[in-house]
Amino acid sequence: MRFYSIHELSNNTETVLSSVAAEHLVVITENGKPSALMIEVSEENFEETLSILKQMKDMRKNQREDENVT
């Protein structure tokens, strides 16, 4: 897994996208802290990947709601 700063992404987008294709996952940092993930997506796995990400988002939302109840 490679790490790139937001500035590296802006200045070297093609290089970062090549890393995503080669390594399947890249972390983007802002001020030295993880800020975003870039994951490889193809036509074949796009719908499945999107579904998994939506499920994870819903799980995080439910977890936060549970934390606010207690």
* pLDDT tens-digit series, residues 8-67: 999 999 999 999 999 999 999 999 999 999 999 999 999 999 999 999 999 999 998 888
**Identity of the amino acid at 44:** E
pLDDT at residue 70, as a whole number: 63
Q: Which structure tokens are listed for 47? A: 């719908």
Residues 24, 30, 36, 38: is their CA dihedral positive or negative?
A: negative
Q: Which structure tokens are listed for 33? A: 């802290």
Angle at 28 between CA 33 and CA 22, to 5 degrees: 140
